[in-house]
Every structure is written in structure tokens, then in C-alpha cells.
Amino acid sequence: MQDIPRDDAEWRTRLNPIQYHVLREGGTEPAFSGALWDRHDPGVYRCAGCAVELFRSDDKFDSGSGWPSFVSPAEVAAVTTHEDRSHGMVRAEVRCAACGGHLGHVFPDGPGPEGLRYCINSAALEVDEE
């Protein structure tokens, strides 16, 4: 795992502009624009901010949403959820538990046993190929 930056200046040097916007400002990349939404190769998905393992390719599915979607995190403790009331709706925001980076949102319309869809920005992730 990488050292987690402590201040905004360190985050700005570590992350590219879209990663910074998503992870540190809670932004969202446009649907179907990220590098990972249509990726199907085996791999481990890590936080682009701190390299913590967040998701695995075995849990990835094509939701048709235009963002990488997963039925569950690699470890329950790898992510946290927080109420998000932005954009006139109530959603569950997903953050990296290690560095607090915004990842995306989780919705109760997934195909897995828990019925969840973790809708995650490509910019928030890096992949280690298996």
C-alpha cells in the first residue's frame, strides 16, 4: 500500500486531474467514458489514491450503466458508505475506507445474493492484472 497523502497539495501531485476530481472532490466521470467500464479481463481493482484492494473481477458485471459495476467489495471493510443527498436524491456514497476517497455509489438493484450494485468511477480505480 502507498503512503496516504495528508494534505491537498500531496493529493494534487499524486493524482491526475480526473482522479483528483473524483476521489477528492466527489466528482463523477461521464457514463461510458472511463477506461474500465467495459473491461472483462481478470484482475484486482485497487484504489487509485492509496492502492488498497477494493474489488475483484469475479464480482464485476455489466450493468449497462456505463460505469464499472460490482456485486460486492473484495472485503466489506475496504469501503464505507455515507448518505449522499446531492442532486435532489438520496443515495449511498461509497468511499475507500483507507484514504476516504470518493469511489461512486451503491444501489439496491444488483444481481448478486445481496442485490447490490456498486457503481464505481473508473478514475477511482487501478487494476492489477491476474
Residue 119 appears among annotated catalytic residues: yes
Question: What is the domain extent for residue 27?
Answer: 8-129
Is residue 31 domain-resident? yes
Domain count, the chain: 1
Confidence label for 10 from pLDDT (cuts 50, 70 and 90): very high
Residue-wise pLDDT tens digits, 82-94: 998 987 888 999 9
Give the pLDDT confidence score for residue 67 in this predicted structure: 97
Give the pLDDT confidence score for residue 90 in this predicted structure: 87
C-alpha cell of residue 6: 495528508
Is residue 1 domain-resident? no
Give the burial class of 79: count Cβ atoms within 10 A of its Cβ; 0-12 exposed, 13-18 middle, 19 or more buried: buried
Residue-wise pLDDT tens digits, 17-33: 999 999 999 999 999 99
Residue range 47-58: mean pLDDT, rounded: 97
Give the pLDDT confidence score for residue 2 in this predicted structure: 57
Can you give the CATH number for the domain in which 124 is found? 2.170.150.20
Q: How far apart are CA 36 and CA 24, in angstroms?
A: 19
The residue annotated as part of the active site, out of 47, 50, 99, 119, is 119
Residue-wise pLDDT tens digits, 41-50: 999 999 999 9
